[in-house]
Structure 1
Amino acid sequence: MVNVCDVAAYILQKKGQMTAMKLQKLVYYCQAWSLVWDDAPLFKEQIEAWANGPVVRELYEYHRGMFLVDKVHGDPKKIGVVQKKTIDSVLKYYGDKTSQWLSDLTHSESPWRDAREGLLPESRGSKVITHAEMSEYYSSIT
């Protein structure tokens, strides 16, 4: 299975430099829609419900302190044909949205909201957004 940095590298290869927040939201939506369309996770790392939306900690550790990200230590060549179709479809819909728009969207959706239940708005939090929660929610809106 590919890792989150492979997916992020592919996204950056396709879309170019972007904010760290936008990259985090795009990998989140790639994972969510892979669970629905392909019935399998795209990458193995867990997604946590942080204050500004879903975050993959391993990717965050790479871009910590950066506002803009133009490359990550991942290998986009590891991504298979089916996975590329999923990522490309996600990028076609979400790729031109702003990081704030994507963050606001994740805040309106139940996987993030449910994982943040009981936390103060500014609390970082580290509760995992499960594959089951993502699959259930996103399959219901297709």
Structure 2
Amino acid sequence: MAEVLDVAAYILDKAGPMSAMKLQKLCYYAQSWHMVWESRPLFDDRIEAWANGPVAPSLYRVHRGKFTVSSSDIPGDADELDSGEKESIDAVLEFYGTKGAHELSELTHRETPWVEARRSAGLAPMEPGTAEISPASIAEYYDGLTSAEN
């Protein structure tokens, strides 16, 4: 199974340099939609409900202190991804890739997985915290969005 660093490397290879915050949100959405489309996680790395939206701490440790990141900053290997994983990420980039970091952050703030993780941990909207967004809550929410469209 790929790691979030592999997903981040692939995203940066495809989309070019971007803000660290945008990269975090794109990795989150790639994980979310891949779980719906392929019925399995894209990566096992933990995702937490930070004040500015979902964050994979293992990715954060790599880009901490950088505003903009490029593929040379991330020690992941895009070749670790299989064709189905790349297809999921490509679809996420097509839909979310033109949105800015703050727009993506605001979007996640309106979605149940982030809201519920923070609420369960007793965190105020902008209070720092490391509550986990469970893979089950992600899969349930995004799968529900596909059901609502049908």
TM-score by length of 1: 0.98
Selected match of 1:128 from 126, 129, 132? 132
TM-score by length of 2: 0.93
Which residue of structure 1 aligns with residue 104 of structure 2? 102
Give aligned-pair identity as a percent: 52
Displaced runs of 4 or more, over 3 A: none
Are positions 1:137 and 2:141 aligned together?
yes
| 1:120 positional shift | 2.1
Q: Name stretches of at least 5 consecutive residues in structure 2 with no aligned partner.
A: none
Number of residues of Structure 1 aligned to a counterpart in Structure 2: 142
Distance 1:123 1:104 in 2: 15
Distance 1:122 1:105 in 2: 15
Matches within 5 A, 1:1-142: 1-71=1-71, 72-117=74-119, 118-142=122-146
Distance 1:121 1:36 in 2: 27
Q: Name stretches of at least 5 consecutive residues in structure 1 with no aligned partner.
A: none
Distance 1:127 1:119 in 2: 9
- Aligned-CA RMSD value: 0.7
Distance 1:45 1:65 in 2: 20
Deviations 1:12-45 (A, max 9, x none): 0000000000000000000000110000000110
Equivalent residue of 1:97, what SS?
coil
